[in-house]
Amino acid sequence: MSEHRRSRLAGALGIGLGLSSVFAASLVVAQEPVPTTRPPAPAAAEGGLQLRDLIDRALQTSPSQQVVDRGMSLAEAERVVTRASLMPQLGVAASQLRQTSNPAALGFQFPGIPSLIGPYSVFDARVSLSQTLFDLAKSSELASAGFAVDAARAQVEVQREQLATQVALAFIRVLAGEQALVSAQTDLKLAEDLMVQARDQRTAGLASGVDVSRAETAVAQDRYAVSEAQTSVAQARLQLQRLVGLPMGEPLQLAGQLQQEAAALADAQQVLSVARQDRAELALLQAQLDQANEMRRAAKRRVYPTVSAFADYGLSANEPGKNEEDTYRYGARVELPLYAGGAIRAGNAAAELQVEQQRLRLADLQEQVEQDVRLAVVTVANTREQITAADAAFEFAGRELELTRDRFLNGIANNIDVVNAQANLARARTQVVSAQAAHQQARVNLAAAQGHARQFKL
């Protein structure tokens, strides 16, 4: 092989390999990998862990969130693959063959031509290039892949909102459980004091054994209530720790309290307007509808012709350096489908059905968003009233217990009224905790209905 030809072939092969590397590199999605190891636990602020820190940690450590994040990376990679089909395709190839040929099979039957030619060697090395010039269906598929990326990005936001909502609700459940435990312990301490008083009254001859037994029963019941409250707190803490990826064997201290100033009443129409703009679920279904529309357009465009150009250049010889010659080929190709066994028509029908499905889902979600908003607004308002009623009931129950306790100490009555008043006070105290927790949960649901769960503050 001459030096000139060697340099030309080496240059062509080098360019081909270089461009192939560039195109291959363009298929790699430039994105930082999502860490699979859990970050260290956030440092507890003065008074305990903040809700904001726990939400941020959950977004980093939750396996479900990481799955959705990788789904977005997958959608981006698939868009690059689709785009690559419209980019120049460059490749290199080399082959060395040893073969025989039958001239008669090629139509050569002349006197003097042997019935079998060979064996002989064939060497070929070349660079090939092709480029799609016109393909409307592929263009629509590329646009559809872009909307698929938008849908995957919206799905990430949906998952983030759902996870933030779950963490906030679990945070509130822990606070409510801790407060319920304190209330149960307070009720137990009160019941023990009343039992001591009943025993003293019996010693003084002002009460009977039945009064003492009644007080002892109340103490036993309150001890059971304390045990139940401890179990509920443990369950709520473990659930929150699992959500945010905290070690379950370590103690958990939270910064926050349920007893806060009641939230201001919201205007349903104004909240609904915000939700229609910010709810990630709406953006997700809208992107999926746009994707389905592009796939329908692609299905319709498959009946159009496609045009592509191609070229190759290389060396043909018996073997490297022997009888070598430059060879090349270039041209254009036009393809037009005439009959595909009904696949094109079926593809159009399927694409139309997918578009219709997405439209129905979007319409249904729009109604669901309005329902979520209006229900959340009503619930926030109702739980405000429940807090007011529970506070009043707690105050009245405290006065009732004080009066009946004085009557019992003065020997005017037995302790039936005292035990009943004590039970009323315990019930009222529980209702206060429940009302406060329900109000905070309603606030979380209102924020989630607007698509702002991650901005919720307690």
In angstroms, rounded to a whole number, what is the distance separating the alpha carbons of residues 201 and 211?
Answer: 9
Whether residue 127 is predicted with pLDDT greater than 70 in this model: the reply is yes
Distances (CA, A) of 147 to 77, 144, 287, 290, 357: 13, 5, 6, 6, 17
pLDDT tens readout for residues 284-301: 999 999 999 999 999 999
Mean pLDDT in residue range 428-444 = 94
In angstroms, rounded to a whole number, what is the distance separating the alpha carbons of residues 436 and 441?
Answer: 9
Backbone angles phi, psi at 245, to 5 degrees: 75, 30
Mean pLDDT in residue range 54-66 = 92
Tokens of 246: 């905290």
In angstroms, rounded to a whole number, what is the distance separating the alpha carbons of residues 341 and 323?
Answer: 48
Backbone angles phi, psi at 48, to 5 degrees: 130, -175
Whether residue 324 is predicted with pLDDT greater than 80 in this model: the reply is yes
Q: Nearest to residue 228, comparing CAs of 1, 430, 7, 420?
A: 430
* Residue 46: predicted pLDDT: 54
- How would residue 161 be classed by pLDDT, with cut points 50, 70 and 90? very high
Beta bridge partners of 60: none
At residue 183, the 3 state secondary structure works out as: helix
In whole angstroms, how large is the CA radius of gyration of the chain?
Answer: 39
pTM for the model stands at 0.80
CB atoms within 10 A of CB 123: 20
Which domains, and CATH codes, for the chain?
Answer: 1-30+87-134+304-336 (2.20.200.10), 41-83+136-302+342-455 (1.20.1600.10)
Whether residue 11 is predicted with pLDDT greater than 70 in this model: the reply is no
* Residue 266: predicted pLDDT: 81
| Strands of 89-101's sheet in order across | 89-101, 117-134, 306-317, 325-335
The DSSP string of 393-428 is HHHHHHHHHHHHHHHHHTTSS-THHHHHHHHHHHHH
Whether residue 415 is predicted with pLDDT greater than 90 in this model: the reply is no
Instruction: Report DSSP state, residue 457.
Output: -
At residue 116, the 3 state secondary structure works out as: coil
Whether residue 31 is predicted with pLDDT greater than 70 in this model: the reply is no
Whether residue 9 is predicted with pLDDT greater than 60 in this model: the reply is no
